[in-house]
Each structure stands twice: as structure tokens, then as C-alpha cells.
Structure 1
Amino acid sequence: MKTIKVSKQPVRIAEIVYMKSDINYTEFFLRNGNKIVSCHTLKRFEEQLPSQRFKRIDKGTLINSGYLKHIGSDSVTLVDNTVLKISRRRKQILSQFNY
């Protein structure tokens, strides 16, 4: 069971649905509906997480591809029906995967 340390508490990587940056903070949105805020940058967490599982969909959002339900023309839908905007450049990268 792999974990990552977020705000002094371990969080199972599989529980992370997506992350959003807020300047020098990162908000973690978890499968159980909880949200955790960390004082570290999204880039720092991106470097620690497995790149085959976590994909950046725009400058400030990183998603767990295991929770990806649909890729639309300008957004992605996650399995909990959260809709997030996707940049055009990142859409081309994500379209290589079968979701």
C-alpha cells in the first residue's frame, strides 16, 4: 500500500482522485470526498507520484487516471462526475490513452 505524505499525514496514493494548485499550496481531493490542503507545490507532488498514473490536464491540475471516466472536447469527467477543464495541449497527450 503506497502512500505519500500530505500535511504531516500519510495518504494512500490510490485514494487521491485529483489535485489542484493554489499558488504555493496544493489541494488534494480524495475518493471519500475529503479535501486536504498542503503547503507544497503541485510540481513537488507530481515528481513524487507515478507518472503512468497521474496526468497533468492543465497548468494547475493533476488527475489520477484511474478515476478518469471520459475525455470531452475541452474537459474531462471523473468517475465521481467532477468535470475539469483540460488544456488543448494536454488533451493531445491524454488522447493517446484509452479512457
Structure 2
Amino acid sequence: MSQPQLFSLSQIEETPVHHLCIHLCGMVRTIDISTIMYLQSEINYTRFFAKDGKTYLEAKTLKHFDKVLEDTEFIRIHKSYLVNRNCIVSMTSDFVLLKNGVQLPVSRRKGRALKRNLTVTPLFTKLRERRNWY
């Protein structure tokens, strides 16, 4: 018999995340992360908002999903929101406007960090910025 091929832990950890496993009706299902618009914290739960209008509730914190989705298109804009960068139409110092018309708040601390992030800066609109950026 041939030896099974072993993978080092570093090889496994470096694979990009394309799907998430969540619990739906007592079963584990996978969702493609490109179909998720944003995630909202609900204390020890996280609610997923999909592009097709469906919502899913998972019994894990937003902090957990922030770590899982760290090197993907998701950005943290608030302590309660994680947003898919591809779904953002525009940003100001106070809110993010998504393609479905939903406005989500941007916290002051996250807003300053986003303003310095060169990949997100083109999304900022210059209209009616109320806060001064330092």
C-alpha cells in the first residue's frame, strides 16, 4: 500500500476562504462568500445578509467571522458590521451605501483606518463629510 500524503499545517492554513459553513435547520450548509453582502453582530450571534435577500443566523460571534474572513474582500466598518467590499457603492465618514440601498454606520475609529486604506479610499465620496480626518 502506498503512504498517505501528508500536508503541513501551514499549507492548510494558507488556502483562501471561498465558502463558509453555517447551520440551517439543524444541518450544516456551505455558502459562497461572494453571495454575502454584509454580516451584522447580534451579541453572541451573527446574522448574514445575502445578495438574494435571504438572511441566516449563526451562533458564532462577528469577531470569529472577522478572523475567518481576514484575507478576503470583507472589511470591518463598525463593531457590529463586516461588509463585502464588492457590494459598496460609496462611503462617507458616517456611513456606507450598499448596492441594495442599505446604509450602514461607520464608526470613527474604523472610518479613520478605512480612510488610510488605499484599496478602500476610492470608494469615499467627498460630499458632506462632517468629521475632520486626522
SS at match of 2:113: helix
Q: 2:83 maps to which residue?
A: 63
Q: 1:80 maps to which residue?
A: 100
Structure in which a larger fraction of residues adopt strand: 1
User: Once the 2 structures are TM-superposed, how far is the Cα of residue 13 of structure 1 from its aligned partner?
Assistant: 0.6
User: Once the 2 structures are TM-superposed, how far is the Cα of residue 74 of structure 1 from its aligned partner?
Assistant: 0.6
Give the structure, 1 or 2, with the largest relative contact order (CA under 8 Å, sep 6 or more).
Answer: 1
Counterpart among 45, 48, 55 of residue 28 in structure 1: 48
Letter in 1 for 2:32: R
> Partners in 1 of 2:110 and 2:22 — Cα distance?
26
Identity %: 31
Q: Which 4+ stretches in 1 moved above 4 angstroms?
A: none
Are residues 56 and 71 of structure 1, via their aligned partners in 2, closer, same or farther at CA, if it must alter by over 3 Å? same
Counterpart among 17, 21, 45 of residue 5 in structure 1: 21
User: Once the 2 structures are TM-superposed, how far is the Cα of residue 73 of structure 1 from its aligned partner?
Assistant: 2.9
Residue 38 (1) aligns with residue 58 (2)? yes
Give the aligned CA root-mean-square deviation in angstroms.
1.5
SS at match of 1:29: strand
Letter in 1 for 2:87: Y
> Partners in 2 of 1:93 and 1:44 — Cα distance?
20
Ranges in structure 1 where 5+ consecutive residues have no aligned partner = none
Using structure 1 for the length normalisation, give the TM-score: 0.92
> Partners in 2 of 1:40 and 1:23 — Cα distance?
9
> Partners in 2 of 1:71 and 1:84 — Cα distance?
10
User: Once the 2 structures are TM-superposed, how far is the Cα of residue 2 of structure 1 from its aligned partner?
Assistant: 2.0
User: Once the 2 structures are TM-superposed, how far is the Cα of residue 93 of structure 1 from its aligned partner?
Assistant: 2.0
> Partners in 1 of 2:111 and 2:71 — Cα distance?
16
Q: 2:36 maps to which residue?
A: 16
Highest Rg: 1 or 2?
2
Report the count of equivalent residues: 99
SS at match of 2:96: strand
Which piece of structure 1 moves more, 27-36 or 49-58? Answer: 49-58
> Partners in 2 of 1:50 and 1:10 — Cα distance?
18
